[in-house]
């Protein structure tokens, strides 16, 4: 991959990172950012290998196309702009940001002060931007390969085909259900594999459930006070 070339202008759509024309197009929206940097990382997400300024904004979208990049590339974003908490702005380019449209996330989040955009523990801390770089610790995105036509067709075959009048829909939380079911092996509890375990399937069948609706399926972090409460 050639990382010496700055990104071409690319397209302001679709949002996120997408393979096209022998490279990757990046697009991210920010109404108030003055500039956004694209930061590339090694496969482990530990070492930054390149950093470029994206083009724009055009209607609030910053974008760029990097030829030669492939699926599997790990990246993050840095946003430049005003640090004015009284106006709702907390831009801090020392902090690596996760692409809000990331389709795969790299890393495991640990709550540390380095992630805060302000100085923690100082009486005026919220008015002072924290200058520590959190790049090595922050969550990052990975460019993924889109589905081809045959893969999309295969996935479409798995949709529920039971008439609505005979459907018993069961809304379930993946972690909440699978971590408390005694028939699910301990190492699978709280995971999608735990939800798909034969013990879980048998439980739903005994209830007469035909279709599951999973809530939620997006990446989420618990609030700090909830973590402290266990």
Rounded Cα distance, 89 and 98, in Å? 18
The predicted pLDDT at position 158 comes to 65
Q: Is 190 helix (H, G, I), strand (E, B) or coil?
A: coil
| Angle at 17 (CA atoms; ends 218, 97), nearest 5 degrees | 65
pLDDT tens for the chain, 230 residues: list them.
445 567 899 999 999 999 999 999 999 999 999 999 999 999 999 999 999 999 999 999 999 999 999 999 999 999 999 999 999 999 999 999 999 999 999 998 988 999 999 998 888 878 999 999 999 999 999 999 987 777 777 766 666 778 889 999 999 999 899 998 999 999 999 899 999 999 999 999 999 999 999 987 878 777 777 777 76
Together in a domain, 32 and 67? yes
Instruction: Domain count for the chain, please give it.
Output: 2
Together in a domain, 69 and 118? yes
Together in a domain, 130 and 222? no
Together in a domain, 95 and 136? yes
Residue 180 falls inside a structural domain: yes
DSSP character at residue 230: -
Residue 1 falls inside a structural domain: no
- Pairing status of strand 140-142 against strand 169-172: unpaired
Task: Write the DSSP string, 124-189.
Answer: TGGGSB-----TTTS-EEE--PPP-HHHHHHHHTTS--S-GGG--EEEE-HHHHHTT-TTS-GGGT
The predicted pLDDT at position 59 comes to 97
Together in a domain, 37 and 126? yes
Q: Is residue 7 within 8 Å of residue 64, measured between CB atoms? A: yes
The predicted pLDDT at position 2 comes to 44
The domain in which residue 34 lies consists of 16-142
The predicted pLDDT at position 5 comes to 64
Last residue of a domain, one of 142, 167, 190: 142
Together in a domain, 81 and 22? yes
The predicted pLDDT at position 124 comes to 82
Together in a domain, 181 and 218? yes
The predicted pLDDT at position 157 comes to 65
Together in a domain, 43 and 80? yes
């Amino acid at each position: 991959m050639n990382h010496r070339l700055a990104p071409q202008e690319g397209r302001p759509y679709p949002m996120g990172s997408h393979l096209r024309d022998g490279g990757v197009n990046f697009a991210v929206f920010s109404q108030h950012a003055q500039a956004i940097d694209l930061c590339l990382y090694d496969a482990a997400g530990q070492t930054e290998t390149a950093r470029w300024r994206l083009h724009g904004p055009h209607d609030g979208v910053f974008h760029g196309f990097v030829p030669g990049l492939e699926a599997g590339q790990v990246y993050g974003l840095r946003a430049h702009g005003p640090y004015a908490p009284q106006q709702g702005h907390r831009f801090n380019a020392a902090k690596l940001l996760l692409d809000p449209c990331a389709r795969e996330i790299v890393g495991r989040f640990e709550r540390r002060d380095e992630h805060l955009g302000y100085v923690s523990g100082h009486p005026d801390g919220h008015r002072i931007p924290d200058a520590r770089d959190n790049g090595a610790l922050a969550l990052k995105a990975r460019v993924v390969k889109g589905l081809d036509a045959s893969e999309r067709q295969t996935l479409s075959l798995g949709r529920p085909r039971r008439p609505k009048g005979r459907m018993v829909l069961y809304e379930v939380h993946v972690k909440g259900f699978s971590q408390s079911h005694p028939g699910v092996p301990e190492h699978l509890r709280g995971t999608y594999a735990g939800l798909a375990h034969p013990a879980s399937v048998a439980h739903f069948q005994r209830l007469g459930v035909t279709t599951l609706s999973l809530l939620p399926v997006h990446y989420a972090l618990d609030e700090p006070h909830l973590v402290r409460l266990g």
